[in-house]
């Protein structure tokens, strides 16, 4: 098994690992070494632009060394986990490579996460550190840190009672630990699982390949300029091809401080952006607002859209309004990525979610018994391959249900596959709400809904919405105390430390919840009832 160094990681079986190496998917490189090579190859070229700051590859390399030594001085050791919750800023990139150099592992939290999520991530990962901004979008992360039980808090900006990130500076010539390319490089957060979010171990070998192969498919070259529009900790802007794929070819990464069309268009003009990645609701906003913007968008050649299903009409509209090619991306933090390709027909690009990235990606479409469906029929997507996990981190029991005995990951997505290999997403069987690309695990929300004294039973379901694709709807049966109002319920969830994007957009109060034959809450009946406007 690969994935040594920390326990709780399920690696690939030795035979599969040997095959991925032999076929050249895994090159035995770490992000630490790679970023050093990039400094040699691309030296004074601009690696990262953030506001007025422009950082060359050489400078990025130096800053990563100074920070890596600073982390070692602070007692951070190979295999240690640090929860990283930063907005789209240069420090994120420096930290990623600094940690890679010492074999420490970032746990990728989103700026929108709050106490409930961060406490869970810190506990699950047994984190030794937590990196935050001081204040971002009006929220003081130092007040959040005060509620998290973690040894070191490092703050980008004014540290308050904590340690200044900027003070993490050691001797850059210090000897760095040797990092095994089959060890874990990063822990990503899964949106798609039952109960509380799980952590996804991604190794250097697999994630380097993920980023490099994605850069190939997007035909990135050193003259590209990639705009980081989505929150940086998401797999999509991080490695599909995102920051890591862009830096691998010597191109430039530009940070967007916000995902709005206004901010995006200004940066496209100013920084001559060629590629960016959006979720469908943002793509719609950008397409709608393009006509009203005087900004020169002619540099944009490719808009990647993924995270939720892109409407075919919008896919048709984008090239007309934004003047660039569109690419559908159906991916998951667990691994498998599907992309439409530059030479795909317009029809494939508009009506499918792409085909698997790697020739070594194995894809099965199965029925409820786990048997392959007839070609073209809808079924659950199972997959395994050189960059798809073999197990969630520290989740033995759950792993037994999320993987087949021969290592296929059960995605919970319903798809059909065309003869060309392209997949069309038709729905899902996992209990997750996809709110405009952000994932809301229903069970996590239900558990917190039940902590309100007015809630006796709770079910969280997604309801169709023109803008976000799905809205979060909380369906409750009240206690004798009587049902809370939506506003009260949200205040309670905020009090419980739940991120705002996971909070219900709608509240429905019922006398009882519909049940299936085996006595479980029937979410299908619930959604059918609610969307027909009648009581279920």
Give contact residues for ligand OOB (rule: CB under 6 A). 191-192, 235-236, 240, 306-309, 328-333, 337, 353, 411, 413, 425, 428, 434, 439
**Beta-bridge partners for 327:** 304
User: Could you please report the per-residue DSSP string of 407-431?
Assistant: S-EEEEEEEEE-TTS-EEEEEE-SS
Give the whole-angstrom CA distance, residue 196 versus residue 444. Answer: 5
HEC assignment per residue over 224-254: CEEEECCCCCCHHHHHCCHHHHHHHCCCEEE
Smallest gap from Cβ 440 to ligand OOB, in A, equals: 11
Smallest gap from Cβ 426 to ligand OOB, in A, equals: 9
Pair of tokens at residue 157? 């900006």
> 346: part of which helix (H) or strand (E)?
helix 346-351
- Cα–Cα–Cα angle for 11, 12, 15, rounded to 5 degrees: 145
Nearer to ligand OOB, 216 or 269 (CB): 216
Nearer to ligand OOB, 274 or 434 (CB): 434
Nearer to ligand OOB, 116 or 434 (CB): 434
Smallest gap from Cβ 82 to ligand OOB, in A, equals: 21
Residue nearest to ligand OOB (CB): 331
Smallest gap from Cβ 128 to ligand OOB, in A, equals: 26
Match 């602070």 to its residue by tokens.
Answer: 74
Nearer to ligand OOB, 107 or 489 (CB): 107
The dihedral built from the CA positions of residue 513, 517, 520 and 524, taken in this order, carries a sign that is negative
Contacting residues for 222 by C-beta, under 8 A, at least 6 apart: 42, 45, 249, 250, 251
Smallest gap from Cβ 58 to ligand OOB, in A, equals: 30
Smallest gap from Cβ 234 to ligand OOB, in A, equals: 7
- Our CA dihedral for 392, 398, 399, 404, rounded to 10 degrees, sits at -140
Smallest gap from Cβ 239 to ligand OOB, in A, equals: 8
- Residue 26's alpha-carbon distances to 2, 202, 203, 304, 407, in angstroms, are 12, 13, 10, 25, 18
| Other CB atoms within 10 A of residue 360 CB | 19
Nearer to ligand OOB, 76 or 240 (CB): 240
**Beta-bridge partners for 435:** 438
* DSSP conformational letter for 372: B
Q: Are strands 129-133 and 81-84 parallel, antiparallel or unpaired?
A: parallel
Give the whole-angstrom CA distance, residue 215 versus residue 339. Answer: 11
Contacting residues for 329 by C-beta, under 8 A, at least 6 apart: 236, 240, 277, 304, 305, 306, 307, 337, 338, 339, 353, 354
Contacting residues for 241 by C-beta, under 8 A, at least 6 apart: 211, 214, 215, 217, 218, 220, 226, 248
Q: Are strands 335-339 and 355-356 parallel, antiparallel or unpaired?
A: antiparallel
Nearer to ligand OOB, 400 or 429 (CB): 429
Smallest gap from Cβ 200 to ligand OOB, in A, equals: 8
- Cα–Cα–Cα angle for 161, 164, 166, rounded to 5 degrees: 170
Smallest gap from Cβ 449 to ligand OOB, in A, equals: 22
Contacting residues for 178 by C-beta, under 8 A, at least 6 apart: none
Between helix 31-42 and helix 204-217 the angle, nearest 10°, is: 40
Give the whole-angstrom CA distance, residue 83 versus residue 121. Answer: 7
Do 228 and 236 touch, CB atoms closer than 8 A?
no
């Amino acid at each position: 098994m690969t994935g040594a160094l920390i326990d709780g990681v399920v690696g690939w079986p030795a035979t599969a690992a040997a095959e991925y190496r032999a076929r050249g998917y895994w090159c035995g490189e770490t992000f630490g070494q790679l970023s050093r090579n990039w400094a040699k190859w691309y030296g004074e070229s601009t690696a990262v632009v953030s506001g007025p700051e422009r950082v060359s590859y050489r400078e990025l390399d130096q800053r990563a060394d100074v920070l890596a030594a600073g982390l070692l001085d602070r007692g951070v050791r190979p295999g240690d986990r640090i929860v990283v919750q930063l907005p789209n800023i240069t420090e994120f990139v420096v930290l990623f490579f600094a940690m890679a150099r010492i074999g420490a592992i970032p746990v990728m939290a989103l700026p929108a996460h709050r106490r409930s999520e961060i406490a869970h991530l810190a506990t699950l990962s047994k984190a030794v550190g937590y990196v935050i901004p001081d204040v971002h979008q009006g929220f003081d992360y130092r007040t959040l840190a005060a509620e998290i039980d973690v040894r070191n808090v490092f703050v980008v900006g004014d540290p308050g009672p904590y340690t200044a990130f900027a003070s993490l500076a050691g001797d850059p010539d210090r000897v760095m630990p040797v990092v095994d390319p089959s060890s874990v490089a990063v822990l990503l957060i899964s949106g798609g699982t039952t109960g509380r979010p799980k952590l996804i171990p991604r190794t250097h070998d697999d994630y380097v390949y993920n980023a490099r192969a994605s850069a190939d498919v997007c035909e990135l070259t050193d003259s590209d300029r990639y705009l980081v529009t989505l929150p940086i900790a998401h797999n999509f802007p991080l490695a599909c091809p995102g920051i890591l794929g862009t830096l691998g070819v010597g191109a430039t990464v530009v940070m967007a401080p916000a995902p709005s069309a206004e901010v995006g268009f200004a940066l496209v003009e100013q920084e001559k952006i060629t590629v960016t990645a959006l979720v469908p609701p943002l793509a719609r906003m950008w397409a709608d607002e393009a006509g009203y913007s005087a900004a020169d968008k002619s540099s944009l050649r490719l808009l990647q859209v993924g995270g939720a299903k892109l409407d075919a009409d919008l896919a048709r509209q984008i090239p007309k309004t934004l003047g660039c090619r569109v690419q559908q991306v159906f991916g998951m933090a667990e691994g498998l990525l599907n992309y439409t390709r530059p030479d795909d027909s317009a029809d494939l690009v508009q009506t499918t979610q792409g085909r698997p990235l790697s020739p070594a990606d194995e894809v099965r479409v199965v029925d409820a018994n786990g048997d392959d469906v007839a070609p073209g029929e809808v079924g659950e997507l199972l997959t395994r391959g050189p960059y798809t996990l073999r197990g969630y981190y520290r989740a033995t029991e759950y792993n037994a249900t999320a993987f087949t005995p021969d290592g296929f990951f059960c995605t919970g997505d319903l798809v059909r596959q065309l003869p060309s290999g392209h997949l069309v997403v038709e729905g899902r069987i996992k209990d997750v709400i996809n709110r405009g690309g952000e994932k809301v695990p229903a069970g996590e929300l239900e558990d917190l809904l039940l902590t309100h004294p007015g809630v006796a039973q709770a079910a969280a379901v997604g309801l169709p919405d023109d803008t976000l694709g799905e809205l979060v709807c909380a369906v409750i049966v009240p206690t004798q105390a009587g049902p809370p109002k939506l506003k009260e319920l949200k205040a309670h969830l905020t009090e419980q430390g739940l991120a705002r994007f996971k909070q219900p957009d709608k509240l429905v109060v019922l006398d009882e919840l519909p049940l299936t034959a085996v006595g479980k809450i029937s979410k299908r009946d619930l959604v059918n009832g609610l969307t027909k406007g009648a009581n279920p």
